[in-house]
Every structure is written in structure tokens, then in C-alpha cells.
Structure 1
């Protein structure tokens, strides 16, 4: 075995060994977990003191921005606004694929125009903009109150139908 491979392996092993204790020591305090732990205290005065301190820590974390509290309506609105973007890594609302995940959106077309190569660029009233990425010829007549539906398709792609016309493959801009 050449010396350079041995050296690289030793450096990699050393890096892993040094990094492991650092990773193990990192812990993120969870003020909500502290609230739940207080329920197990038997003494009423100790339980109340625990709840008071945990609630104060929770409020401080919320004010500092360490914790964000959203209701279900705000979560659904955020899902709708981000539909079509591939943000699974950053999306706190979709840690795992749920059966009730948003599969399509329907909105009114605010503008539609052809760009280079005859592809369509469609802006919807919800603020999203979609660009045709396939080579299909689609005929769209931009008229007032024209309805468009964007739905999830295979392999993470999206299909859009505008005014009942043939569907075209699109991506969010």
C-alpha cells in the first residue's frame, strides 16, 4: 500500500476521532420538552415552580426567535406558497411525506407569454411563476379569469394545465 494512502487514512481517522466528541457534546435545549417534564413532578409547589420556569424559558426562546409557533392555517399557507420549490432539506413542514401532502394547486392566471423557444411562462395570481420545460406545443389563450392547475407528477416534476388545454411539464421560477 502506498504511503500516501496510509497517510490519508490516518488523517481521516484522526479527523473522525476528533470530531466525534464535539458532535456528541452538542445538544439543543428544547423548552417545550421542559414543559412536558414538569408534569411528572408530584409536589404541587415544585411542579408549579417548574412550570413557571419552563414557561419563562419558552417565552424567552419565542421572543429570541429560537422557537417559532405556527397554527395549522399558517403552515398550510406556507406549504401553498412553496409548492413547486424543491426545499425538502429546509422545509420544516415536510419532515416526512404525508398522505395529506399538497398534491396540486389551482389559481387564476395573471399573465402568460411565450419566451425563447416557444415555451410558456405563466404567472399565477398567488404569486408563483411557472416555466414550461418540455417541448410539447400548447395553445393558451390568455383571457381574463383563466384557471390553471399545477399538480405533482412523476419523479418530482410538475404538470400544468391552463384553461383546459393540454398539460405541459413545468418548473417553478
Structure 2
């Protein structure tokens, strides 16, 4: 549960940063260029390196680093490494969210997530007989095809693999068994 809370906190901070960064450059001529352009607080810091006089350059760095630190403390800017972004993408797998370049997977790392693997924390049948499966990471998935399509009852501690299907669908296999269609639901 603690890992889930950490991911949720990081994700909300990253989304806050992304929404802040996306709202300001809406007037730019080239939308893709505006989205990929670093925030001014970062470019101002980098610009300090072009100052030739050492004392002025140091003063510039001190001022801009303090501003960046304050912005990060106030969640106006989020510093995230590639692994944190990958973990956020994994946590978002299966959810329909607005397209945010940060999570597109079209960046330099080509890290589009097409499949996740996990362990079932709990599984129950809904009134319609379709399975509702909660993973250890807290994600909840619901079966969308006919209830009889599963070969056996999913149980806690079973391994599950969920991958992207065609036309935005998702397919799950429990312990390598017969595949069935699922969708991610918000719990």
C-alpha cells in the first residue's frame, strides 16, 4: 500500500507539472514544439553558463538554483528521472487519459508499455458472473467478455499478464491460461 501511495504522489506531482507546462504554451504556433520545450525556470538556469565573468556566473547559478529548488518544493516543477516516468506509465497502464507527451512512449527511450505482469491480490465474480480482479499494486481490472471465457477461477497469488489487444482493448491471462478481455476500472 505504501508503494501505491508513493506512486500516486509522484504521479499527481508529475501530472501537476505536465498540466502547468501544457497550459502556458497553448498560444505557441507549433504545439509539439511548445510541449517539448523545457520550462523557463530550467532554461534560465542553463543560460547562466554563458556568463563569462566568474562572479556574475556564480551569482546567476545561485539565484536560479534557489528559484528551481523553491519551485520544486512548491510542486510547480517536478524533477523525475526516466525510471520514475516508466513507473508512472506502468501505473497508468489501461487507463484512458489525455495524451501527455511525457507519457506517450514516443520519446528517445521508446518505452511504450504494451504488457504488464503482476500478482492477483483478490478476485471476485460480479453479479453478471464476470471477474473483477485486483492486483497487488492496487490496479483493478474487470472482465468484459463472456464469463465462461476463463478456463479456471482466478485466485489470490495467481500470476496475471495483461497486454494491449486490438482497437484499444486489453487481454488478460491468469497463470498462462486462456486469454479473456478486460478493462481497467477505477476503484
Residue 106 of structure 2 corresponds to 97
Task: Select the structure that is richer in helix.
Answer: 2
Residue 173 of structure 2 corresponds to 161
- For residues 101 and 29 of structure 1, the distance between their equivalents in structure 2, rounded to whole angstroms, comes to 24
- For residues 133 and 77 of structure 1, the distance between their equivalents in structure 2, rounded to whole angstroms, comes to 26
Residue 115 of structure 1 deviates from its aligned partner by 1.5
Structure-1-length-normalised TM-score: 0.74
Question: Compared with structure 1, are the counterparts of its residues 72 and 46 closer, same or farther at alpha carbon in structure 2 (3 Å cutoff)?
Answer: same
Uncovered stretches (5+) of structure 2, i.e. residues with no partner: 1-26, 29-37
Uncovered stretches (5+) of structure 1, i.e. residues with no partner: 1-22
Residue 78 of structure 2 corresponds to 68
Answer yes or no: is the 8 Å Cα contact 2:154–2:174 preserved in 1: no
The answer to whether 1:55 aligns with 2:65 is yes
The answer to whether 1:114 aligns with 2:113 is no
Residue 152 of structure 2 corresponds to 140
Residue 32 of structure 2 corresponds to none
- For residues 89 and 105 of structure 2, the distance between their equivalents in structure 1, rounded to whole angstroms, comes to 14
Residue 29 of structure 1 deviates from its aligned partner by 6.0
Residue 93 of structure 1 deviates from its aligned partner by 3.2
Structure-2-length-normalised TM-score: 0.69
Query: Which secondary structure does the structure 1 equivalent of 2:89 belong to?
Result: helix
- For residues 141 and 155 of structure 2, the distance between their equivalents in structure 1, rounded to whole angstroms, comes to 17
Residue 31 of structure 2 corresponds to none
Greater C-alpha radius of gyration: 1
After TM superposition, the runs of 4+ consecutive aligned structure 1 residues lying more than 4 A away are none
- For residues 139 and 51 of structure 2, the distance between their equivalents in structure 1, rounded to whole angstroms, comes to 50
